[in-house]
Structure 1
Amino acid sequence: MKYKAFLFDMNGTMIDDMPYHIQAWHRILNELGAGISIERMKEECYGKNDELLERIFPGRFSPEEKKKMSWEKEKQYQDSFRPHLRLLDGLAEVLAKAKKDGIKMAIGSAAIMFNIDFVVDELQIRKYFDALISADEVRISKPDPETFLVCAEKLGVAPENCLVFEDSPKGVEAAARAGMDCAVITSLHEKEDFDGISNIVRFMKDYTAFSW
């Protein structure tokens, strides 16, 4: 196998939590008068929280206000999702085997570290990862390739030797721009949503059939 590192997006890729993020944002933004549908919210739910707020309400909120709303949203998300928090089927086995085989692993997510810590510590999987890259560690989030390039740099692995696991078209685009292959988890999007992206090596609903 040519891959020396596995890079995981987190939300929707390791855990099936994207509906909880979408619902939390949908509630908060519509209370502020956004008037957007769940389908529109699904499309907008990518990147850093302040980037999302700026797309919906350009120029309306100060950095301090956006930070406060971001924390409120994350607390709502964690409270609602905690009872359902678990790894996607087969992922625990993949993490254990990859660690045993000497494959380096990192999480590269647009989530803030508060949420990454929530997931890796609640699930007790921190031991598997050599790097955790959050929104706080990059200037521009996906589809910019910076997140995955920083992961590769931290692991000391060339981009072409990294396999990315993603669930969103924006994330897969980021992997492609980083020069990395990608395995797509179809937890939120259908195969058709990824038309025209050439770095995809496989689609899978979870990790039960993934092997190397």
Structure 2
Amino acid sequence: MWGVLWDLDGVLIDSARWHLASWQWLAQQYGRTFPIELFKETFGLPNAAILRRLFSDRDLTDEDIRGLSEQKEAMYRTLVRAHLTWQPGAVELLEDLRRHGARQGLFTSTPRSNVVFIDEVLGLSRYLEVILTGDDVPRGKPAPDGYAALCQRLGLTPDRAVVIEDAPAGVEAAHAAGLRCIAVATTHPPERLTAADWVVRDLTDLSARQIQAWLGL
């Protein structure tokens, strides 16, 4: 038994620009700015971590974070609804992996409400046996909690699984869970992803047989 553990935003779906727009909208509501540099630094982190950066001059409570996060994600869903698409090669690789017997699951920092919405539009659950979000684990990326829990739920050992990520925090989370990581340079340039075990341009550069051979299976 072997498997692939997926990230969502920037890996399976093309969503970065709409996350940026919704963060910038939220910042504007409170008289702040959300520069592209901050987005690049924080994309892939849990909302709580990003909000503490954006509101670094305030001592945000858990209730504050929940409320601000809900505002941001509601705007994200509004913006992305008409534009939600798979990343190039995503469906083809998901289907190829399934044909080759790979168990597949997903861990994302995005709230479950977003995942439910995306599943309704694109049908994520057709391919993924287990979907975990930042709402399901004590700590988000770069902590190992999500990918470790996903391995356990899928019945996989770290030596027979690989994570596919697009952000440094995700690569760190994979390694912290004892997993190898393939990074796709869809959100960050390759030089930001050198900690990954294998860096590719996008999912069209991968196949199930290549991944199996690379894992030594």
Mapped contact 1:183–1:204 kept (Cα < 8 A): no
Measure the CA separation in 1 of the matches of 2:120 and 2:161: 25
Partner of 1:22, secondary structure, is helix
Partner of 2:205, secondary structure, is coil
Mapped contact 2:34–2:54 kept (Cα < 8 A): no
Which residue is 1:26 aligned to? 24
Mapped contact 1:26–1:41 kept (Cα < 8 A): no
Which residue is 1:6 aligned to? 4
Mapped contact 2:111–2:133 kept (Cα < 8 A): yes
Measure the CA separation in 2 of the matches of 1:179 and 1:99: 23
Which residue is 2:119 aligned to? 120
Q: 1:90 to 1:41 in 2, by over 3 A?
A: closer
State the Cα deviation string for residues 86-113 of structure 1 (Å, max 9, x = none): 1112211211222222210001100111
Gaps of 5+ in 1: none
Measure the CA separation in 2 of the matches of 1:4 and 1:136: 26
- When the two structures are superposed, what TM-score results if normalisation uses the length of structure 1? 0.90
Q: How far 1:36 sits from its partner (Å)?
A: 4.0
State the Cα deviation string for residues 22-76 of structure 1 (Å, max 9, x = none): 2211221243244442222331233221222123324533322221221111111
Which residue is 2:199 aligned to? 202
Gaps of 5+ in 2: 210-217
Measure the CA separation in 1 of the matches of 2:137 and 2:2: 23
Which residue is 1:67 aligned to? 66
How many residue pairs match? The answer is: 207
Which residue is 1:54 aligned to? 52
Measure the CA separation in 2 of the matches of 1:194 and 1:91: 20
Q: How far 1:204 sits from its partner (Å)?
A: 2.3
Partner of 1:7, secondary structure, is strand
Partner of 1:189, secondary structure, is coil
Partner of 2:81, secondary structure, is helix
Identity value in percent? 27
- Higher mean alpha-carbon deviation, 172-181 vs 33-42, is at 33-42
Counterpart AA for 2:165: E
Q: 1:15 to 1:109 in 2, by over 3 A?
A: same
2:133 maps to 1:130 = no
Measure the CA separation in 1 of the matches of 2:190 and 2:199: 10
Measure the CA separation in 2 of the matches of 1:104 and 1:13: 17
Mapped contact 1:159–1:180 kept (Cα < 8 A): yes
Which residue is 1:184 aligned to? 183
Partner of 2:199, secondary structure, is strand
Which residue is 1:142 aligned to? 141
Q: 1:75 to 1:36 in 2, by over 3 A?
A: closer
Deviating above 4 A after TM superposition, structure 1's stretches of 4 or more consecutive aligned residues are none
- When the two structures are superposed, what TM-score results if normalisation uses the length of structure 2? 0.88
